[in-house]
Structure 1
Amino acid sequence: MTTAGLEGRVALVAGATRGAGRGIAVELGAAGATVYVTGRSTVGRRSEYDRPETIEETAELVTAAGGKGVALPADHLDPAQVRAVVERIDAEQGRLDVLVNDIWGGEKLFGWDVPVWEHDLDDGLRLLRLAVDTHAITSHFALPLLLRRPGGLVVEMTDGTAEYNGSRYRNSFFYDLAKTAVLRMAFSLGHELGPRGATAVALTPGWMRSELMLEAFGVTEETWREALADQPHFAISETPRYVGRAVAALAADPEVARYNGTSLSSGALAREYGFTDLDGSRPDAWRYLVEVQDKGLPADPTGYR
């Protein structure tokens, strides 16, 4: 399945090296968009993640999907580098229709269920900078270009809906604060962008089969079901392309302003727009978490995908 209707549109996916960012970039490309993809991992240099995925590879996947992928190395904590990215997009395209703030980089920086007074302070503060400062810096420079034409869309990527995160502790003080802050960014941007003709939303995937998650379980995308022996609830998981299709559907929706300032999920948007994951299913992880996993019920995704 592909989403048509983004030919001639220009997107910036900030933080598109792997995971959700890559899935979003590819699906925007499949819909016909020109997609600029940024990140710190390039063919010539790896970030501190020290992983093999690169922004050049993501750009190639965007082009192979039917769009035009352009890789631009950038550290989104560096205002000068972000300014240069936006200036290049302006020089080459003269427009920006979709901004996806997917910069993260905190997986190795938080301790699961480690209280703030025991948590490594340097790691926690860097996590916040990577999760919050990067989004603010990118929006500061990119939004004037996005607002040049009416109808622009900003997607703030996070983990968890506002409803779910608002009543639950998420892993650690620093992680909880980071993911909640991004939700609030979308709310605030909605107030600032709405009157100026643009839309901002927060969006979360479900339990996503990212490169790091598959590696953690010792499986591949082809063999992911083998992980169910150790974690049966992983049956509700989804590919990064699923949330990518959610973004593509939002970007193609002429009535997307109805979502301005709100918190959305891939599963809920799949019901709204009718798209599916790569296997034809429609996993609804956040409903499943509330109704099955968090209640301690046996794993059973029936009716949830």
Structure 2
Amino acid sequence: MHLDTDTQNARQPGPLTDRVALVAGATRGAGRALALELGRSGATVYVTGRTTRERPSEVGRTTETIEETAELVTAAGGTGIAVPTDHLDPDQVRALVDRVDRERGRLDLLVNDLWGGEHLLVGSVFGRKSWETPLDDGLRLLELGVRSHVITAALALPLLIRSESPLHVEVTDGTARSNRRYRENLYYDLAKNAPIRMAFGLGEELAEYGGTAVAVTPGFLRSEQMLTHFGVTEDNWRDACAREPHFAISESPRYLARGVAALAADPERAARWNGRSTSSTELARTYGVRDVDGSQPDALAYFEEVYYGGGDGSADDYR
């Protein structure tokens, strides 16, 4: 388990001290980083996922586990609690929510970062028409990216609304604006647009409780799986740009996570964000946070203006 310098800081009261958070889907990637940054801000964070030290999920990775995520949260200054959970099983989610209620009595922040469908994308989904996509694979994407989110929200929101200022965060790929462009495959497009609509609808429902629902997206995420795909690490990730030049606009999972942690500590967040979808870049510019290298990459603008639009800018122009 790697702990950076920030993670080894002594425990100090933070802006989210005494807050209780649940990060659903915190094994790796954005979910792990979100749990870590919420912990760094002082929160108690329940972290869930299907990959444990005893058993991997269908993703097939054994290098990241929810137990490790919980340890990282605690080392960062929060309290990390790992609860193995398959969020497609309502009984497991009910047991999770009951445990949070029993141990803490409330929930202040729910992060729906459930996914785990990357292994289905290359070869099976991307580049195929909907009728060419294996039906079982397409339906699995909808289970992982939509049904799991709906189950978790339905069962956790009754506890969330006990908070004085409930916050529900849907993590997806793209914003309402950027996803006006078709996302390459019908099943993937549906899976990544549904959380945006969930945030919009839940924003309507949470408003009377003083709550906020918002959908957030990273840009080109340097997740553990993406680093493995390119055969690099976070320390030498730029070496992958020789193979994939657009990787130069990528961002670490900490970039989005820092923005969400700042949003969670914002007393005016409902007026700013309720019902909206936003990006790591917009959050960074709003709250003055930066990625681990000190930059503020804007991958959505880069891809819209350069990759799709044919502009002459380089990735450095968008960092």
TM-score, reference length from structure 1: 0.97
- The partner residue of 1:38 within 40, 48, 55 is 48
**Unaligned ranges ≥5, structure 2:** 1-5, 8-12
Contact 1:233–1:299 (Cα < 8 Å) also in 2: no
Match of 2:292 in 1: 278
Instruction: Summarize the alignment of residues 12-23 of structure 1 with structure 2, pairs less than 5 Å apart.
Output: 12-23=22-33
Measured in 1, the distance between the counterparts of 2:164 and 2:79 equals: 23
Contact 2:70–2:81 (Cα < 8 Å) also in 1: yes
Superimposed CA distance per residue, residues 3-44 of structure 1 (whole angstroms, 9 cap, x where no aligned partner): 940000010000000000001000000101000000000011
Structure 1 residue 171: Cα displacement: 2.2
Match of 2:318 in 1: 304
Amino acid at match of 2:147: D
Contact 2:199–2:276 (Cα < 8 Å) also in 1: yes
Structure 1 residue 299: Cα displacement: 5.9
Match of 1:221 in 2: 234
Match of 2:167 in 1: 153
Counterpart check, 1:247 vs 2:260: yes
Amino acid at match of 1:26: L
Match of 1:24 in 2: 34
Measured in 2, the distance between the counterparts of 1:195 and 1:59 equals: 33
Counterpart check, 1:236 vs 2:249: yes
Superimposed CA distance per residue, residues 49-76 of structure 1 (whole angstroms, 9 cap, x where no aligned partner): 1212100000011111111100000000
Measured in 1, the distance between the counterparts of 2:119 and 2:138 equals: 10
Structure 1 stretches of 4+ with a deviation exceeding 6 A read none
Amino acid at match of 2:117: G
Structure 1 residue 218: Cα displacement: 1.1
Match of 1:48 in 2: 58
TM-score, reference length from structure 2: 0.93
Match of 1:288 in 2: 302
Q: SS state of the match for residue 169, structure 2?
A: strand
Match of 2:119 in 1: 108
Instruction: Summarize the alignment of residues 44-123 of structure 1 with structure 2, pairs less than 5 Å apart.
Output: 44-52=54-62, 53-110=64-121, 111-123=125-137
Instruction: Summarize the alignment of residues 124-273 of structure 1 with structure 2, pairs less than 5 Å apart.
Output: 124-166=138-180, 168-258=181-271, 259-273=273-287
Structure 1 residue 150: Cα displacement: 2.2
Superimposed CA distance per residue, residues 150-173 of structure 1 (whole angstroms, 9 cap, x where no aligned partner): 21110000000110102x111211
Q: SS state of the match for residue 100, structure 2?
A: helix
Residues 283-292 or 201-210, more deviating: 283-292
Q: SS state of the match for residue 115, structure 2?
A: coil
Aligned CA distance change for structure 1 residues 298 and 4 (closer, same or farther; 3 Å): farther
Amino acid at match of 2:26: A
Bigger RCO (CA 8 Å, 6+ sep):
1
